[in-house]
């Protein structure tokens, strides 16, 4: 059976428990090519995950104001700077597809809202000219930054010489860097892995080349392509990249808690941290990092917090469908049958998203398996919302013990686990 990179298969392997460093915290801000990002935290681009609904959901879940903490050192000029998530990134998008598709279809892949700034669009591909053209499209669409994916380990991406597949061809990467840098004026960044395998570690050389070609920042996921998502991220390579270049370095890999984020900064000297897998399972992690940076402490979510979080995200998915249907109705009512098919597909997609995140959002909730089962069996978004309302209304006293990892595994339908969409962080 072929290996699939799914949310469930990306559980951490014996995660290291880091203590909070006594004097080191995640930086309050950093700058990428003139774009100020505050705080220095980044939501990793994840295919099938970081669409506009999830990005806005994370921004809302991350909101942290310093008003309740007068001594907090948190900037308050804009809504973004009240968020624990400083920069959000799109799902990775095929440069070939973006360059070929019609303008109306592009909007579906490049949709974002004003409150998502600063926002970076991530592209993957292997042709310098096509990537340059797609970068121009991204710039014209109003994105603040454009990012090149050199990290995705998925076979279907690597087979096209995209993602981490390009790590075996540094001369081609240089051609891509030069073409994209010449094509756009917005900040240009790259996210990459250490190398193809342990025999081909190229991260330091690649980072230096990025700096030489005028890129504005680099992000390193401290694993090789061969590692996939197994084993421990090797943070020492983030430190080596930081020592090698003067442009900002963003560290990525095995950040599950504020303690992990602070420990990465302490050990590597990186300018910012990027969080992928932890965001779907703990949407509050950015807020927790901001709280710790400001006060030295952070809140742990309660069952009520989880209820509001699940209800909010699922409602946002339903609302997004309603907005799309309103926009469709406002257009000429041609090809009614095709419109009906499109509407049904949107509903299926929304429920699919709900199923995709069910096992993560209910992680640690007493009896969460029963809710996961109901969500899996639902066919419409409204049915999922009803199930969430009924489940939390019947929740026992907060003192009841949370479900164990064994219970979480045993009561999650196998079909749900295998239906979770593939993504790359």
Q: What is the CATH classification number for the domain harbouring 99?
A: 3.20.20.70
pLDDT at res. 352: 76
Helix ranges (H only) for 62-202 are 95-100, 103-109, 128-140, 155-158, 170-183
Beta strand segments in 215-285, E: 217-221, 249-252, 272-275
pLDDT at residue 63, as a whole number: 66
Identify whether the C-beta of residue 202 lies closer than 8 Å to the C-beta of residue 175.
no
Q: Residues 44, 147: one domain?
A: yes
pLDDT value at residue 330: 53
For the chain, the average pLDDT equals 80
Q: How many residues does the chain have?
A: 425
Query: Which pair of tokens denotes residue 168?
Result: 């075996």
Is the pLDDT at 422 greater than 70? The verdict is: no
10-27 confidence digits (pLDDT tens):
566 667 778 778 788 899
249 and 325 both lie in a single domain: no
Compute how many other C-beta atoms are within 10 angstroms of the C-beta atom of residue 321.
Answer: 16
Is 153 found in the same domain as 252?
Answer: yes
Q: Which of 37-51, 109-123, 388-402 has the lowest mean pLDDT?
A: 388-402
311 and 415 in a single domain? The answer is: yes
At 330 the three-state DSSP class reads helix
Q: Return the beta strands (E) in 38-169 as ranges.
A: 41-43, 88-89, 93-94, 119-124, 145-150
pLDDT > 90? residue 167 = yes
**172-219 pLDDT, tens digit each:** 999 999 999 999 999 999 999 999 999 999 999 999 999 999 999 999
Domain shared by 89 and 128, yes or no: yes
Average pLDDT over residues 401-405: 43
- Of the three residues 295, 321, 340, the one that is the final residue of a domain is 295
Residue 40, pLDDT > 90, answer yes
Check pLDDT > 90 for residue 108.
Answer: no
Does residue 85 lie within any of the structural domains?
Answer: yes
Q: Is residue 1 part of a domain?
A: no
Tell me how crowded residue 208 is: count the other CB atoms within 10 A of its CB: 15
Burial, 144: exposed, middle or buried (Cβ in 10 Å; 0-12, 13-18, 19+)?
A: buried
- Is the same domain home to 57 and 197? yes
CA nearest to 315, candidates 56, 48, 6, 82: 56
- 423 confidence band (pLDDT: 50, 70, 90): very low
User: Are residues 416 and 377 in contact, defined by beta-carbon separation less than 8 angstroms?
Assistant: no
**Backbone phi and psi for residue 347, each to the nearest 5 degrees, phi listed first:** -65, -40
Count of domains observed in the chain: 2
Q: Is 203 designated active site?
A: no
Q: Which residue has the higher pLDDT, 88 or 75?
A: 88
Indicate whether 109 pLDDT > 50. yes
Please identify, among 266, 295, 324, the residue that sits at the C-terminal boundary of a domain: 295
Q: In whole angstroms, how far apart are CA 43 and each of 83, 312, 378, 403?
A: 12, 19, 29, 28
φ, ψ of residue 37 to 5 degrees: the values are -120, 115
Q: Could you tell me if residue 187 is inside a domain?
A: yes
Q: Domain check: are 396 and 287 in the same one?
A: no
Yes or no: say if 92 and 164 are a contact pair by the CB < 8 Å rule. Answer: no
Q: What is the mean pLDDT of residues 165-172?
A: 95
Q: What is the pTM of this model?
A: 0.81
Residue 226: inside a domain: yes
Interval 108-124 mean pLDDT: 89
Q: How far is CA 372 from CA 13, 127, 366, in A?
A: 24, 43, 12
Structure tokens at 32: 């990428």
Q: What is the pLDDT of residue 72?
A: 43
Q: Note whether 226 and 116 are same-domain residues.
A: yes
The residue-averaged pLDDT of 224-230 equals 90
Calpha distance 315→321 (Å, rounded): 10
105 CB-near residues (< 8 Å, 6+ apart): none
Distance of alpha carbon 289 from the chain centroid: 16
Least confident of 148-157, 269-278, 312-321: 312-321
Tell whether 59 and 203 lie within a shared domain: yes
- Give the whole-angstrom CA distance, residue 251 versus residue 270: 6
Position 3 in a domain: no
Both 323 and 400 in one domain: the answer is: yes
Range of the domain at 399: 303-419
Q: Could you give the count of Cα atoms lying within 13 Å of 128 in the half-sphere of its Cβ?
A: 15
Note the pLDDT tens digit of each residue in 245-296: 999 999 999 999 999 999 999 999 999 999 998 888 888 899 899 888 878 8
φ, ψ dihedrals at 89, nearest 5°:
-130, 150
Assigned domain for 238 exists: yes
Domain boundary among 295, 312, 345: 295
Q: Based on the domain organization, do 307 and 291 belong to the same domain?
A: no
**Claim to verify: residue 108 and residue 210 sit in the same structural domain:** yes
Q: Which of these ranges, 1-10, 324-333, 389-398, has the smallest mean pLDDT?
A: 1-10
pLDDT at 74: 42
What pLDDT was estimated at residue 306? Answer: 77
Band (150; pLDDT cuts 50, 70, 90)? very high
Express each pLDDT in 318-372 by its tens digit: 787 776 666 555 555 544 545 555 556 666 777 777 777 776 777 667 777 888 8
Assess if residue 319 is contained within a domain: yes
Active site residue: 152, 203, 213, 424, which one? 152
Q: How far is CA 106 from the centre of its chain?
A: 20
Q: Residue 424: inside a domain, yes or no?
A: no
- 89: closest CA among 61, 126, 47? 47
Instruction: Give yes or no for a contact between 21 and 262, defined as CB atoms under 8 angstroms apart.
Output: yes
Question: Reduced to 3 DSSP states, what percent helix, strand and coil does the chain have, rounded to the nearest 5?
Answer: 50, 10, 40
């Amino acid at each position: 059976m072929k290996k699939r990179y799914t949310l469930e298969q990306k559980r951490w392997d014996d995660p290291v428990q880091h203590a909070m460093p006594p004097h080191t915290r995640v930086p309050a801000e950093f700058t990428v090519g003139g774009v100020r990002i505050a705080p220095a935290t980044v939501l990793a681009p994840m295919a099938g995950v970081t669409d506009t609904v999830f990005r806005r959901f994370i921004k809302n879940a991350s909101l942290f104001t310093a008003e309740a903490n007068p001594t907090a050192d948190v900037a308050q000029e804009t809504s973004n700077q009240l968020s624990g998530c400083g920069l959000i990134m799109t799902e990775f998008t095929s440069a070939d597809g973006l360059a070929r598709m019609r303008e109306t279809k592009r909007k579906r892949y490049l949709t974002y809202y004003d409150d998502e700034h600063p926002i970076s669009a991530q592209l993957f591909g292997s042709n310098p000219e096509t990537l340059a053209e797609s970068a121009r499209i991204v710039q014209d669409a109003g994105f603040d930054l454009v990012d090149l994916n050199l990290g995705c380990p998925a076979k279907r991406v690597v087979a096209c010489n995209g993602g981490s597949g390009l790590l075996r061809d540094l001369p081609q990467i240089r051609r891509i860097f030069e073409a994209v840098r010449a094509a756009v004026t917005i900040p240009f960044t790259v996210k990459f892995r250490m190398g193809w395998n342990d025999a081909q570690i190229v991260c330091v050389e690649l980072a230096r080349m990025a700096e030489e070609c005028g890129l504005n920042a680099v992000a390193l996921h401290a694993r090789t392509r061969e590692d996939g998502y197994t084993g421990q991220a090797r943070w020492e390579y983030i430190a080596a990249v930081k020592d090698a270049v003067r442009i900002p370095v963003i560290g990525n890999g095995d950040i599950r808690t504020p303690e992990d984020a602070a420990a990465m900064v302490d050990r590597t000297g990186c300018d910012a941290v990027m969080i992928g897998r932890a965001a779907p399972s703990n949407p509050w992690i950015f807020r927790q990092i901001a709280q710790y940076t400001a006060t030295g402490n952070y809140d742990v979510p309660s069952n009520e917090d989880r209820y509001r979080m699940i209800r909010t995200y699922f409602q946002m998915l339903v609302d997004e469908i309603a907005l799309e249907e309103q926009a469709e109705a406002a257009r000429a009512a041609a090809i009614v049958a095709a419109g009906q098919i499109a509407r049904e597909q949107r509903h299926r997609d929304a429920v699919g998203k709900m199923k995709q995140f069910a096992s993560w959002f209910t992680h640690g909730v007493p009896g969460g398996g029963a809710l996961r089962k109901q969500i899996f069996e639902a066919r419409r978004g409204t049915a999922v919302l009803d199930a969430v309302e009924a489940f939390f209304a019947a929740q026992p006293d907060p003192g009841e013990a949370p479900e164990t990892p064994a219970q979480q595994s045993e009561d999650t339908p196998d079909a749900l686990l295998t239906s979770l969409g593939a993504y790359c962080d």
